[in-house]
Chain A
Amino acid sequence: MPKTHISTQINGDSYEFLCNTQQTLLDVLRQELDLKGSKEGCATGDCGACSVMMDDRLVCACLVLGAEADGKKIETVEGLSSGSSLDPLQQKFIDLAALQCGICTPGVLVAARALLEKNKSPSEEEVRFWLAGNLCRCTGYDKIVRAVLEVAAEARNA
């Protein structure tokens, strides 16, 4: 089976790997590079558990071929914290119990971070629409939305 040689940057580090055309970026992250933060909920673009940034755009890693990552800049949930210091969103999710089983959480965090980079003061409606592609079966969304709004407010007041 033909393999494609890929060089890419993930969370600021250079990576090189070989992948089959069938492998999605999510498969590569999890199976080849041992970056298991991004989750597979559906593999068909519906749940958002695999959300990553590719060249500064929020995408579902399950709907990107690994081969398409060549020359791209990828950011995953593993890149949110630096060392042991958590991203304010991660800390707030813990403080407000905005997660239960945690499967949706990496995708929600990456998506919420992308929103806050673009919009410093989103309304509740904007948060809910932005995160409409991130399904959560546990929390009922309210705590997630509240956590995102509080982090945005604290960043504005900082």
Chain B
Amino acid sequence: MDYVTPTTAMEASKALAQDGAFALAGGTDLLVKLKTKFVSPSVIVDIKQVPKIMSIENSTDGWWIGAAVPCAEISEHESLRQDWPGLVESLSLIGSTQIQGRATLGGNLCNASPAADSVPALIAAYGTCIISGQSGDREEPIENIVTSPGVTVLEKGEFILGFKLPKPESGTGDAYLRLIPRSEMDIAIVGAGTSVSVDKDKKITSIRVALGAIAPTQIILDGLEDLFIGKEPNENSINKLISIAESACRPIKDKRGTVEYRTKIAGVLAKRTLTIAYKRAINH
């Protein structure tokens, strides 16, 4: 097994195009898989020296978060937290302090676990990612990347350079909650990420709810516009949100939770994240 440290995106793509090549960001998934012989790469491509992959930038176009910035560094970024508090909360839940020192958004997405904590929050925040490959860069919405557990749309030689988030208009709020059986260090039974924007009359102008861990990939709930746009949330629309969330669930059953429990919790977390995001939106 070789180890290479490309210093340009093109070199990284070329290295990743080789048979058996794996990208290495924080290694908190990959090194566990190496240890357990789940994967046996021919070459490890440490992408952390590629330009822009380790930077966080705030411009008039919105936010750039490099794919290999460790979560601990992202959560120290105060103005990002002000703009997208739910996203920062989601990535702060990944693992322990030690894991936070290494884990990245690129790795969380490309590991392609249905329970990845940052992914529903990135989707809810209308995030996109820049994919670098040998023929240049392309931009894709986050929800298009994972196709099934452990599988992404990335082609040979492609990797994620970073994430773009819009600059939130005033009156925007987001939230992420997950349920785990322990109070720390566990895998989500359900994760829910929600963002809403409101006008000056507190009426909702946009809404997005994404759920994780309840299906093979993260899911964006359908049919919320008709229920919420142009109105304040009320008991009726929130009850409908709960049933939409429940009927979107196709969860697995394991020692962490039964199908019934996960389905019930999906509705609960959809409701709670909407409540928090809405409160943040009217105060933003």
Query: Using Cβ atoms and an 8 Å threshold, which residues of chain A touch B185?
Result: 46, 132-133
Q: Residue A59 contacts which of B44, B46, B102 (CB distance < 8 angstroms)?
A: B102
Cβ-defined contact, B96 with A133, below 8 A: yes
Residues in A23-70 with C-beta less than 8 Å from chain B: 24, 43-46, 48, 51, 54, 57-60, 62-65, 67-68
Cross-chain pair count, CB within 8 angstroms: 85
Query: Using Cβ atoms and an 8 Å threshold, which residues of chain B touch A46?
Result: 185
Cβ-defined contact, B2 with A44, below 8 A: no
Complex interface: stretch among B24-32, B120-128, B206-214: B24-32
Query: Using Cβ atoms and an 8 Å threshold, which residues of chain B touch A20?
Result: 1
Find the A residue at minimum CB distance from B72: A57
Q: Interface size on B (CB < 8 Å)?
A: 26
Asked, given contacts A21-B1, A59-B101, A59-B102, whether A133 binds B44 with beta carbons under 8 Å apart, the answer is: no
Query: Using Cβ atoms and an 8 Å threshold, which residues of chain A touch B35?
Result: 43-44, 62
Cβ-defined contact, B96 with A65, below 8 A: no
| B34 interface contact, C-beta 8 A | yes
| A2 interface contact, C-beta 8 A | yes
Cβ-defined contact, B31 with A62, below 8 A: yes
Cβ-defined contact, A21 with B99, below 8 A: no
| B258 interface contact, C-beta 8 A | no
Q: How far does the alpha carbon of A67 sit from the alpha carbon of B34 in the complex, in Å?
A: 15
| B36 interface contact, C-beta 8 A | yes
Query: Using Cβ atoms and an 8 Å threshold, which residues of chain A touch B44?
Result: 21, 65
| B261 interface contact, C-beta 8 A | no
Find the B residue at minimum CB distance from A128: B184
Closest Cβ–Cβ distance, residue B187 to chain A (whole Å): 12
Cβ-defined contact, B101 with A58, below 8 A: yes
Cβ-defined contact, A45 with B98, below 8 A: yes
Can you name 10 A-B pairs with beta carbons within 8 Å? A2-B2, A44-B35, A57-B72, A58-B101, A62-B35, A63-B26, A64-B102, A130-B97, A133-B98, A134-B96
